[in-house]
Structure 1
Amino acid sequence: MNTPAELLIDTAAGPAHVTTPAPRGTWWDLAARDPDTSVTQTPTWLDCLCETGPYRDASRLYVFPDGGRIVLPLVNRGRRPRQLDAEESWPAGWGIGGPLTPGDVTPEQARALFDDLAHRPALRVGVRFRPQGAELWQRAAPATFRLEPHMTQAVDLDGGFGTLWQDRFHSRVRRDVRRAEKAHVDVEVDRTGRLVPVFQELYEQSIERWAAQQHEPLALARWRRRREFPTGRLAAVAARFGASCAVWVAWNAGEPAASIVVLRHGPHAKFWRAAMNRDVAHPVRATPLLYRLAIEEACEQGCRIFDLGESAPGSSLEHFKAGFGAESRPSPRYWRERLPVSTVERVLRTAVKRAIRFQDA
């Protein structure tokens, strides 16, 4: 772990003390006091990121004159020169980061955080905010930070599972679940990491399916997907989260059909990953059954929110999640760069997609 550094900065909210990396005890204290803290805003999530990627802890604790405290989860690559590094909360594929605080954030404090990030020496700085309080951060964001719209879908669990099933689940979802139950799909849930290899097997099969759907060479698809989700990452997450990481697997006639991974922190449950053998899972509707059981368990455990993650507006995935009562909410990303690296990367990706006739799913 990096040796903490402390500094005093002048801000719109008065002189603020900044400690980086943020002390873990303080971070956990704020996470417990902030009712909107998600799984991906915890120190455990940062540790998983650093263990399975080229990252190190760059989190920042802000303490203001009025006693207000903000922790910003943040990582950098560390091995790069500071002027060529990126500081992000979080890197692509790691979900929502953003600040957490036990109380209301004032507009001055929000501007202070952006001002501090604007003066970081890194080539790129980016923060993905959670839906709660997104309007405040939007008003505070300076013109030097660009807005990158994102939408996340979540199921409000108030009222319990009976209410969800009867009033908020779409009839097609209830029909699919009943079909899976009649087909005698077997389901087990593991919180020890035992079923991680089963998920990995299904994930490899999913890569082949996605490559065919997107007209992508299989070798390129495997390289890209494994770079985004390396072998060993789920095992690391399962080991660090322990019983708070549930690997659900549906079996059809003894063959693995589908699997999902659900994480939990406090009253928040988060769907993280899914994989399936479509030829085995789809005829018996194994995947909807897994979602149904995971949501029911979250209700029984007293969770308030079941986060289903990001989906492109108008996509089939958004439609699928909406069937479980999920509502879309903005979770914007703000970023700034000293050189147009992202623009160059985007142009190159577009050129490659055109060359291989890539089709977005």
Structure 2
Amino acid sequence: MNAPAVLLINTPAGPAHVTAPAPRATWWELAGQDPDTHVSQTPAWLDCLCATAPYRDASRLYEFEDGRRLVLPLVRGRHRPERLDMEESWPADWGIGGPVSPGGVSSREARVVFDDLMRRPAFQVGVRFRPGGDDIWADAAPADFRSEPHMTQVLSLDGGFSTIWERRFHSGVRRQVRRAERSEVEVEVDRAGRLTPAFYHLYEESIVRWARQQHEPLPLARWRRTRGFPRRRLEAVAARFGESCAIWMAWSAGEPAAAIVVLRYGNHAKLWRGAMNRDLAHPVRAVPLLHRLAIEDACESGCRQYDMGESRPGSSLASFKAGFGADSFSSPRYYRERLPVSAAERRLRAAVKRLIRFRDA
């Protein structure tokens, strides 16, 4: 780990002391004081990222004149020169980053952070904010920062599981769960990483189905999906999070039918990954049953939210999550770059999709 460097920055919005990388003890302290901290905003998540991808810790601790503090989780490339590098909170496929800030953030503090990021020598800097409070960041963002929209679906666990079952689960979801409970399906939960191989086997089976649904060449789908989520990443997360990483597995006819990975930190439970053998899982409605059990477990663990992750508005996945009562929230990414590389990448991806007649799920 890099030795922390402390410097005083003077920005148009005011001064602040910045320590980079952020001291782990302080980061954990602030995360514990911020009830809205997501599991993906913890030092453990950064450790998993750096252990399984070519990144290193670039997190920043901001200390303001009135004594308030916030941590911005951040990584940068491990091998690139600074001016050709990207600093992200977080890179694609790693979910929500953004500041950890007990008591929220003021407009001035948000401007200081953005002013500091404007001065970073990296070619590109991006921050994916958690749901809520985005108006303050939107107002503070300089013109050079662009907004990239993202939608996150979150189920409120207020009121306990009985309230969620009766008032938030749609009737169709309740029917599917009851059907699963009458079927010959067995469910187990692993909190020690034992089911990692079985989960990843299901994930590889799912890639074949996703490629067919999206009209994507299977070799391309396998390369893209396994590059974005290699098995070692699941192993690293299971090892570092321990009992806070639960693999819920449904078995049908003695075979793995469906599985989900749910992570937990503080008030927050996060659906991280899911996979299934549709031929086995769909007849017994294994997936709704897994979510029902994971949501009840999150309630019993004292969580206030069950984060079901990002979805494309209007997609079948978004409708599926809404069936459990999950509400949609904006969790935008703000980024600045010295050349319009992102626009060129989007055009290239769109051209490739048109060429292979790719269908978004």
Q: TM-score, normalised by structure 1?
A: 0.99
For the residue of structure 2 that corresponds to 1:144, the secondary structure is coil
- For 1:59, the equivalent position in structure 2 comes to 59
- Paired residue total: 361
Deviates more, 1:339-348 or 1:17-26: 339-348
- For 1:352, the equivalent position in structure 2 comes to 352
- For 1:302, the equivalent position in structure 2 comes to 302
Task: Provide the rounded CA distance (Å) in 2 between the counterparts of 1:15 and 1:73.
Answer: 20
Does the 8 A contact of 1:12 with 1:108 survive in 2?
no
1:46 maps to amino acid: L
For the residue of structure 1 that corresponds to 2:236, the secondary structure is helix
- For 1:75, the equivalent position in structure 2 comes to 75
Q: TM-score, normalised by structure 2?
A: 0.99
- CA shift for structure 1 position 341: 1.4
- CA shift for structure 1 position 208: 0.2
For the residue of structure 1 that corresponds to 2:14, the secondary structure is coil
- For 2:5, the equivalent position in structure 1 comes to 5
Does the 8 A contact of 2:15 with 2:112 survive in 1?
no
Task: Provide the rounded CA distance (Å) in 2 between the counterparts of 1:236 and 1:247.
Answer: 14
Task: Provide the rounded CA distance (Å) in 1 between the counterparts of 2:302 and 2:79.
Answer: 42
1:268 maps to amino acid: H
- For 2:129, the equivalent position in structure 1 comes to 129
Task: Provide the rounded CA distance (Å) in 2 between the counterparts of 1:15 and 1:160.
Answer: 44
Task: Provide the rounded CA distance (Å) in 1 between the counterparts of 2:16 and 2:233.
Answer: 37
2:68 maps to amino acid: G
1:346 to 1:13, Cα distance in 2 relative to 1, 3 A? closer
- For 1:114, the equivalent position in structure 2 comes to 114
Task: Provide the rounded CA distance (Å) in 1 between the counterparts of 2:125 and 2:221.
Answer: 28
- CA shift for structure 1 position 134: 1.2
Does the 8 A contact of 1:13 with 1:64 survive in 2?
no
Gaps in structure 1 of 5+ consecutive residues:
none
- CA shift for structure 1 position 12: 4.4
Task: Provide the rounded CA distance (Å) in 1 between the counterparts of 2:352 and 2:104.
Answer: 45
> Residues 181-196 of structure 1 correspond to what in structure 2 (within 5 A)?
181-196=181-196
Task: Provide the rounded CA distance (Å) in 2 between the counterparts of 1:40 and 1:285.
Answer: 29
Is the counterpart of residue 199 in structure 1 residue 207 in structure 2?
A: no
- For 1:314, the equivalent position in structure 2 comes to 314
Does the 8 A contact of 1:263 with 1:272 survive in 2?
yes
Task: Provide the rounded CA distance (Å) in 2 between the counterparts of 1:341 and 1:69.
Answer: 33
Is the counterpart of residue 150 in structure 1 residue 165 in structure 2?
A: no
- For 1:341, the equivalent position in structure 2 comes to 341
Task: Provide the rounded CA distance (Å) in 2 between the counterparts of 1:261 and 1:325.
Answer: 19
2:213 maps to amino acid: Q
CA-to-partner distance for each residue in 1:251-283, whole Å, 9 max, x for gaps? 011110000000000111000000000000001
Task: Provide the rounded CA distance (Å) in 2 between the counterparts of 1:360 and 1:105.
Answer: 36
- CA shift for structure 1 position 104: 3.3
2:72 maps to amino acid: L
Is the counterpart of residue 160 in structure 1 residue 160 in structure 2?
A: yes
For the residue of structure 1 that corresponds to 2:309, the secondary structure is strand
Task: Provide the rounded CA distance (Å) in 1 between the counterparts of 2:78 and 2:128.
Answer: 20
- CA shift for structure 1 position 13: 4.9
Task: Provide the rounded CA distance (Å) in 2 between the counterparts of 1:220 and 1:144.
Answer: 34
Task: Provide the rounded CA distance (Å) in 2 between the counterparts of 1:334 and 1:64.
Answer: 22
Does the 8 A contact of 1:68 with 1:103 survive in 2?
no
- For 1:37, the equivalent position in structure 2 comes to 37
Root-mean-square deviation (CA, aligned residues, Å) is: 0.9
- For 1:99, the equivalent position in structure 2 comes to 99
